[in-house]
Amino acid sequence: MIQTLFGSVQSQPSLLERLKSGIQKTRAGLVARLEDALAGRKEIDAALLEELEATLLAADIGVRTTTEILDRIKQQVDRRLLADAQELRALIREHLIEVLRATERPLARVSEPPAVILVVGVNGTGKTTTIGKLAHLFKSEGRSVLLCAADTFRAAAIEQLEIWGQRVGCDVIRQKPGADPSAVLYDAIQAARARRADYLIADTAGRLHTKSNLMAELEKMRRTAARLIPDAPHETLLVMDATTGQNGLEQARRFTSTAGVTGIVLTKMDGTAKGGVVIPIARELGLPIRYLGVGEKPEDLVPFEAESFVASLLEA
């Protein structure tokens, strides 16, 4: 089952296959290197542990998680609970799932629509594209969606969102370039109420964490939403580019402290061989991964499930 702001929906049977396909570059490298490390090995020795360390770090699993996995293996070997190298894959899988589950947070439940979602992040991460894909996903669940063009700062941002709106069949609430983003959001929430839309998804200006005035603008948008609808925004999603790996963590930390981020969307997962970065990002930010972007098409946004993701990483 996949959790939504309005309850659970049945997950698609192809979720695991879509994930496997979407993170093919990471999976191929990780599975191949694990197979090479474990092939014909029975004994768990220092050489094998060294190979495992290099394999996990190459997939960007992160130093902290990799160290924990190796320490757990050593402890179990010392206690004679683990002796066969072929059992290591299951241990790695179990630990990665534990790490991801530790960051899970339930979605806010919305009893009366619209559910308001703010989408934040720096320019170039795929923020507006993610909004279009989210709208497509929600509509495929039978929900109505309205989009809000509150990125009035970047040239062509409004037009880009309108193109996605046309593509997925959603209206866009907009004003002129340079308009007050909070005023645009105010109008959009009123329109969503009047039209009885289930979801309102708001684009925001791409913010560098050093631009304090833009961060203040985002805080103002959150206050505006809360004045109109208690508990809004119900979800604030930070869009991150997976190809930048852990380099984007410092920017992300600033967003989480200022913008009230409730979840992460990792885009461009299909373009990196280091898709294991999901693990340290979730862990270091203490936030759940909500969605993975695995391609360019509207349907290429996959709801995140820890078990399915780890299975897609480790299964041949």
Residues facing 119 on adjacent strands? 203, 237
Q: If you write DSSP's letter for every residue of the chain in order, what string do you get?
A: -EEETTEEEPPPTTHHHHHHHHTHHHHHHHHHHHHHHHTT--S--HHHHHHHHHHHHHTT--HHHHHHHHHHHHHHHHTTS---GGGHHHHHHHHHHHHHHHT--PPPP-SSSPEEEEEE--TTS-HHHHHHHHHHHHHHTT--EEEEE---SSTTHHHHHHHHHHHHT-EEE---TT--HHHHHHHHHHHHHHTT-SEEEEE-----TT-HHHHHHHHHHHHHHHHHSTT-SSEEEEEEEGGGGGGGHHHHHHHHHHH---EEEEE-GGG-S-GGGHHHHHHHHT--EEEEE-SSSTT-EEE--HHHHHHHHH--
Residues facing 145 on adjacent strands? 199
Residue 299 lies in a domain: no
**Token pair listed for 219:** 């805080």
Give the chain's end-to-end CA distance (angstroms, integer): 24
Q: Show the CA angle centred on residue 108, arms to residues 15 and 136, nearest 5°.
A: 45
Q: Are 199 and 138 in contact (CB under 8 A)?
A: yes
Residue 248 lies in a domain: yes
CATH of the domain at 246: 3.40.50.300
Residue 172 lies in a domain: yes
Residue 307 lies in a domain: no
Residue 156 lies in a domain: yes
Write out the residue range of the structural domain in which residue 237 sits: 115-261
User: Assign residue 169 a region: left if phi > 0, alpha if psi is -120 to 50, beta otherwise?
Assistant: left
Count of structural domains, the chain? 1
Residue 204 lies in a domain: yes
Q: What is the pLDDT along the chain (316 residues), one digit of tens a residue?
A: 565 665 555 555 466 677 777 778 777 777 788 888 777 677 778 888 898 899 888 888 889 999 998 998 888 877 777 667 678 888 888 999 999 999 988 777 788 889 999 999 888 888 999 999 999 999 998 999 999 999 998 878 999 999 999 999 999 999 999 999 999 999 999 999 999 999 999 999 876 555 677 778 888 999 999 999 989 999 999 999 888 766 777 777 777 777 789 999 999 888 877 788 888 888 888 889 999 998 888 999 988 988 888 888 887 5
